[in-house]
Amino acid sequence: MGRQSRRASAAPDEARSLAARIRARLTVDPRLDLRAMRVRVRVRDDRVGLTGWVNRLAEKRWIEADLADIVGAGQVRSCLVVGPPGMRSDQEISAAVRDALAEDRWIDATAIRVKTVNGVVRLDGIVGTLLQRKFAGALCWWIRGVREVSNHLSVLYPEPENDELLGEVIQAVMEKDPLVDRSEILVLVHDGVVTLAGTVGGEDARAAAENDAWIVEGVRAVTNEIEVVPGGRIDGLGG
């Protein structure tokens, strides 16, 4: 067998080995219940493709991070979306997104175009600041039936990405969330990794605060250290 034939026969074995490593990693990740998802992993050479759907945005991010740890972030192409298909019509989703953007005081929605295909929302147009761009994208995730957000908004006054800005956007999202009392929660950001601390009155508020962080573009990971203390709060937070 020539050298070229040996390389050709080795490639499928390497792909199968990589696929096995990926399956093992996802199976042992305690945050994931693969039986409740529809995730497909395709391996070609050292590149990995993801398709299918998960139940929550956090699960999508966890899976993508697991694979990036194995093959490198630049080798992962993710087409994972959130939720099963057909939850709501594309027309209804687009209308709800437009209404949410138009009603919000943070955003001038007159120059924003919204299009939805198979639950994937695409934003085009222009906003004033990077904070507004990220905030507009985050608002889309609150609309029932949205499976992914493709944010192509341009920024009139661009600025560098930084942790302080990311924290400001997360706080702005939490202030709008009726399930979250922003005064009870401390938001810390370092290198795109968000840590949430404080105390809330119930598990729903704790989960909502974590979701508010995940839906902000640029967040790489979220550590939720919020405590659930019915009727209580930690001294120094909330006044």
Per DSSP, the three-state class of 103 is helix
CATH class entry, domain 163-228 = alpha beta
pLDDT at 9: 44
123 SS3 class? strand
pLDDT score recorded for residue 2: 52
Q: What token pair was written down for 56?
A: 């929550």
pLDDT means per 10 residues, the chain with 239 residues, are: 48 82 94 93 88 95 94 92 93 98 91 97 97 96 97 95 96 94 93 96 94 96 94 45
pLDDT (0 to 100) of residue 182: 86
Vertex 56, ends 228 and 135: CA angle to 5°?
A: 85
Q: Are 218 and 193 in contact (CB under 8 A)?
A: no
pLDDT of residue 7: 44
Domain-wise residue ranges, the chain: 3-82, 90-155, 163-228
Half-sphere CA count of 210, side-chain side, radius 13 A: 18
Phi-psi region of 181 (alpha: psi -120 to 50; beta: other; left: phi over 0): beta
| Helix%, strand%, coil% for the chain, nearest 5 | 45, 25, 30
CATH topology of 3-82 equal to that of 163-228?
A: no
The distance in angstroms from the start CA to the end CA of the chain is: 76
Question: Could you tell me which CATH class the domain 3-82 is placed in?
Answer: alpha beta
Look-up: residue for tokens 């009603």? 103
Determine the Cα–Cα distance for residues 193 and 198; give it in Å rounded to an integer: 17
Which contiguous run of DSSP H or E holds residue 71?
A: helix 57-71
CATH of 90-155, one of 3.30.40.230, 3.10.20.740, 3.30.1340.30, 3.60.21.10: 3.30.1340.30
